[in-house]
Structure 1
Amino acid sequence: MPAPDRLARLAPPLFIFIWATGYIVAKLAAPHADPLTFLSWRYAGVVALMLGLALAARAPWPSRRDMGHLAVAGLGIQALYLAGVWVSIRQGLPAGTAALIVNLQPVLVAAAAPLIGERVVPRQWLGVALGLAGVVLVIWHKLNLGASYGPPLALCLMSLLAITGGTLYQKRFVPQFDLRTGQVVQFAAALAVTLPLAWALEPMRIVWNRDVVIAMAWSILVLTAGGISLMFHMLRHGRVTAVSSTMYLVPSVTSVMAWLLFGETLGAQAIAGMGVTLLGVYLVVARKQETTS
């Protein structure tokens, strides 16, 4: 099997696994670091790593125009999305509620797909609906939708809109770019926004203990450098509706990880929800000849 074809098959499951670890990392770091401060260190680390790789490989840099587009997309996909999720959970929004809100993304992406020239067929709409239903089943026992959270809920909704808008914007305006230099641009833009906010809004507390070091190293080397690179690769070679729908599987994988690592409950309802989610994602991403009217 050619290497590109092999990567195309491996990228989605690898991405789902890596993205799911984000909740584990947040749980490790949250008691010891202010969220925007942690993210600022994370972005700076990614910029340093990717800049070193880009210079060593003499990777091509995007044009000024593409740099601008990458920076705008990075503000949505990186800065606003991560800041909203981390701060909302830190302020008390249940992780299950946050996960449900953010996992509305495939619905928004499918609705907006015609804006970037993608056609969503009825089979895929059914998959989007089943995927969302499965996510609700998986995390239902963790939800607390009746409580009033005000600002944290608004921040999580901002995250949903930011990552959806950033994903669509990138696919529309700059679908092709070198992953190393492109991420230098995106994370530099994210750092330029996040660091001043951390300075203004937080005491910038970060305790460099074992958990924070592990969380930071994993965030830079695996979550960001690995997970984001895989997402960009999939966006480059696939349809944005199919790529975003793989995120439906993240809560299921996270629940299994939390069960294995922290002993959290994994009941029959959650297992059934995983099955429904898998069916929904299959309907969205499965390659099938569609009749064009």
Structure 2
Amino acid sequence: MRIYANQTALLTLLFITVYGSGFVGAKLGLAYSEPFTFLGVRFLIAGGLLAVGALLLDAPWPKNPGWFLLVGFLLQGVFSAGVFYAMYLGMKPAVCALIIALQPLLVTVLAGPYLQEEVSIQRWLGLIIGVAGVSLVVADGLAVEGITPATLIWAVVGLLGLSLGQLVQKKHCADMHLISGGALQVLGTVPLMFLLAMTFETMQIEWHLDLVISIFWMAIGVSLGAVTLLYILISRSSASQVASVFYGIPVAAALIAWPLFNQVPTMIDWVGFAIVVIGIGVANANKSGIKLLKAARSG
């Protein structure tokens, strides 16, 4: 049991680090490509590699692909499109991060009626502490410029895609084969990305070494590596428990951007980082806690 818990903790730390690096990779790439075009190329490469891997390993393909395609559409397509386009239209990354930081709370609220999960008061406390820490981390970067109805809509679309996709994955696809199922989910987003690119963009790409590095890291490191780790965590833990680790992603992104872009964390940032770690720890502590449903019944 201890070994299993240690493995899960290691996978969680690895997921947070790699997924957080994706925001840094996006910053490199979006200087040379419009967002939907960038995402279309990224998902095409990632999905192609997964499909080849599935064929080489003779992995079983889903007999009923509907739920798999829906998860890919939501968790990869809608989330990425919403976040990338909100920032492309001018929303500050810190503001976007704060909106996406509502994801653990939204997932936990919906996990009750959708997954019949009971959430302890302890976990709610950890989630609230976590969002307070994230808010403190991004507070220095908040600015009113760039906040428009359009950017807010795109950011909320990304939030909904990430949250709903995680819930559907947990309920309908938790036992999927990671390679063949992942290939189906990623490739299913490609038509959406290129449709959006043809609708909203010129689809012109300025090829540069930074762009190549960014695309391949986002395709291999994030779409293959981090998302696969996410699916493993979803299969092992409750939806609310997995959602809580997303608070660590802005922290990882900030720490990775420090040496690459000389974005030195302030004292407020370090305090926020510490609060986030405490929040994640409280939300995932190995204690039974007091279940909200039981408390309501006793009341």
TM-score of the aligned structures, taking structure 1 as reference length: 0.95
Alignment match, 1:220? 219
When structure 1 is superposed on structure 2, of 144-153 and 119-128 the one drifting more is 144-153
Quote the RMSD (CA, aligned, Å). Answer: 1.7
How far does residue 5 in structure 1 lie from its aligned partner after superposition?
A: 6.0
The answer (yes or no) to whether the contact 1:94–1:142 under 8 Å persists in 2 is: yes
- The Cα of 1:145 is off from its aligned counterpart by 4.2
Q: Distance in 2 between matches of 1:36 and 1:3?
A: 41
Gaps of 5+ in 2: 295-299
In the TM superposition, residue 9 of structure 1 has moved relative to its aligned partner by 3.0
Could you tell me which residue of structure 2 aligns to residue 91 of structure 1?
89
Residue 175 of structure 1 corresponds to: 174
Give the structure 1 partner of residue 193 of structure 2: 194
Change (3 A) 1:94 1:15: same
Matched, 1:242 2:241: yes
Residues 14-71 of structure 1, C-alpha deviation per residue, up to 9 Å, x if partnerless?
A: 000011111111110111001100100111111110011111111111122xx10011
- 2:35 aligns with 35
Question: After superposition, what is the alpha-carbon deviation per residue over 1:111-146, rounded to whole angstroms, capped at 9, x for unaligned?
Answer: 111120211111111111000000011110001147
Between 179-188 and 227-236, the greater mean CA deviation after superposition: 179-188
Partner of 2:119: 120
Name the aligned partner's letter for residue 142 of structure 2: L
1:4–1:122 distance in 2 versus 1, CA, 3 Å:
closer
After alignment, is 85-94 or 196-205 more displaced?
196-205
Amino acid aligned to 2:33: A
Match of 2:105 in 1: 107
Corresponding residue number in structure 2 for 1:18: 18
Instruction: Specify the alignment match of 2:142 in structure 1.
Output: 143
Partner of 2:256: 257
For structure 1, which runs of at least 5 residues remain unmatched after alignment?
A: none
1:198 positional shift: 0.9
Are 2:59 and 1:51 aligned? no
Counterpart code for 1:31: A
CA drift of 1:253 comes to: 1.6
Task: Give the C-alpha shift of residue 103 in structure 1.
Answer: 1.0
Gap change, CA 1:148 and 1:57, over 3 Å in 2: closer
Instruction: Give the length in aligned residue pairs.
Output: 291
2:61 aligned partner = 61
SS of aligned partner of 2:132? helix
Q: Separation in 2 of the partners of 1:86 and 1:146? A: 17
What SS does structure 2 have at the residue aligned with 1:47? helix
The alpha-carbon distance between structure 1 residues 46 and 3, as it changes in their structure 2 partners (threshold 3 A), is: farther
CA contact under 8 A between 1:97 and 1:145: conserved in structure 2?
A: no
Q: Structure 1 residue 210: deviation in Å?
A: 0.2
